[in-house]
Structure formats: C-alpha cells, structure tokens
Structure 1
C-alpha cells in the first residue's frame, strides 16, 4: 500500500504543478487578449485533487498534525490514546470516503455539470476527492490495525518541532 500512497502523493504534486501551469496560461492569455474558458475552475479542481490525493501519503510521512505533548505525558499509556484516536479517525475517514463515493455516483447519475461556461461533468473532478478519501481511510485503518496487532503504528515521526 505504501507504493500506492506514494503514487497518490506524486499525483498530488503533479496537480500543484498543473495549477501553476493553468495560472501561467491564464496570465499569458489575458496579456494576449484571449479568453480561455474554464481555467479558474480547473485550477480549483486541481487544488481539491492535490489536497485529497495527498492525504494518505501525508499521514504516513508524519505531516498531519498530532498532539505529541499529551502523548509524551501519558508515557506507556500513550498506546490507549493512539488506539482511541485511530478508532475515531477510522470511523470518520470511512464515513467521509463512503459519502464522497456516493456524491460522485449521484453526480454521474444526475449528469451534474459545472455552472461555468466549460460545462465540465462534475463527477470527473469529484472522482479525485473520492479516490483520495478512500486511500486516506485505508491508510488510517492500516495504521489502526497495525497498532492494534503490533502495538506500534506506521506513521513516521515528524522531523519538525514547534
């Protein structure tokens, strides 16, 4: 699964690069007096895609916010705090993934399109959110089960301290 999380992280980075490209194209088009429809919408879709596709990789690389101070105070009992946190996070992540996939399904069935002039079928950009939330739910469940079975999760320690 780590390779899949890494691939999604690279896809998220590619989306950020594409945001830059769409912005540069829009700047160039305005300077040339040309109108390119949908670039602002596509930049927004790419921003959402980069956010959701990067969630699983960010989790396992220790980039998500975690409260280390409380964990350190608990000492050996930190296991129970982590177990509780992963259980709650698993439930929320699975719920969010389910509803993201449901939203994409209904957007496709109802043929919902963008209100912009480009009229993009919204299930296409929403699919990146669904994929990202499913991967994130799997990553959290993976860490929860690993913690439950081995006593240790797989999240790398953050190298940054505040």
Structure 2
C-alpha cells in the first residue's frame, strides 16, 4: 500500500516535471518572440530558469527508480558479487543521507525565503519561495525514493524499474 502511494507520488512529480519542461519551452519561445517584436516582458529569463530547475528536481525520484542516474560502474564491474553488493548498499546508505540532507535544506530554504519575503532581483520580483517549492518537493521525493530503495533492498521487495516497466529487486 505504501509502495503504491510512493510510486504514485513519484509519477505525479514526473508529470509535474514534464509540465515544467513545457513551461520552459513556452517561456523561451515567448522571450524569443518578444525580442523579435521589440517587446519587453520582464522576468522571462528567470521563469525559464525556474521551470528548468523544477523539471530537474521533480524528476529526481523517478530517475532513481528507473536506475537512470549516472553511476560509475568501472570499479563495480571488476569486483566480486559479494563486494559489489556491499558497495551497492554503501552507496544506497550514502545516497539516502545526502538526499535527506538535501530535502531538509530545501524545505528550510523555502521557509526562510517565505518568512523573509525574499524576491527575485529581476523586474517582476517573484517571491522566491514559489519556484523553490519545486526543488523542495523534488528533494523530498528523492529522499523518499532512496529510503524506499534501501528498505526494499533489505526486505527483498522490488523498487527499481527494469526497461520493460516492471519493478525489479534492489541489487
């Protein structure tokens, strides 16, 4: 049950990442059009940056679940299966710690920006906590995914999705 809820949350974040990419495209195309016609629309560069960053952070959990993060397998390919398994667990533990710290930091950043009324230095003066929310959501999902991957490894459940689309055992 909890796995289904978590996987649904990762899918929701992935859909939001796709919407953010469309937003980045629209912002960039609008900016290009505005320059061609001599219009001044303040903040478009900032919005393009916000949406690109949103897409990056919101896609983190699904990218981990689909085992698509960059991995340095040069060493892993040359060690025994037992050593490889221990190194994989160590990487999951380290990744979990880093992801939890990122989640804590990003949530704190949103809170500080909100309480201090921090705004973008651009002409539109966007409250910074709004674009930072996507970073916080993505980091929370990333931390959840790492915790779930680590838990799945020890309980024998499936977490990582194989190319065919089904979850596989966390090796």
TM-score, length-scaled by structure 1: 0.90
State how many pairs are aligned: 158
For 2:129 and 2:146, the matched residues in 1 are separated by 25
Structure 1: give runs of 5+ residues left out of the alignment. none
Structure 2: give runs of 5+ residues left out of the alignment. 1-5, 165-171
RMSD after superposition: 1.7
For 2:89 and 2:155, the matched residues in 1 are separated by 11
Of structures 1 and 2, the one scoring higher in RCO (CA 8 A, sep 6+) is 1
- The corresponding residue for 1:31 is 36
Q: 2:93 aligns with which of 87, 90, 111?
A: 87
- The corresponding residue for 2:130 is 124
1:26-83 Cα deviation digits (max 9, x unpaired): 1111122111111000001001101100000111111101233433432144221111
For 2:73 and 2:95, the matched residues in 1 are separated by 16
For 1:43 and 1:54, the matched residues in 2 are separated by 17
TM-score, length-scaled by structure 2: 0.86
Q: Is the 8 A contact 1:63 1:158 kept in 2?
A: no
Q: Is the 8 A contact 1:52 1:133 kept in 2?
A: yes
**Which of the two has greater strand per residue?**
2
- Specify the SS of the correspondent of 2:159: coil
1:74-93 Cα deviation digits (max 9, x unpaired): 21442211111111111111
- Specify the SS of the correspondent of 1:155: strand
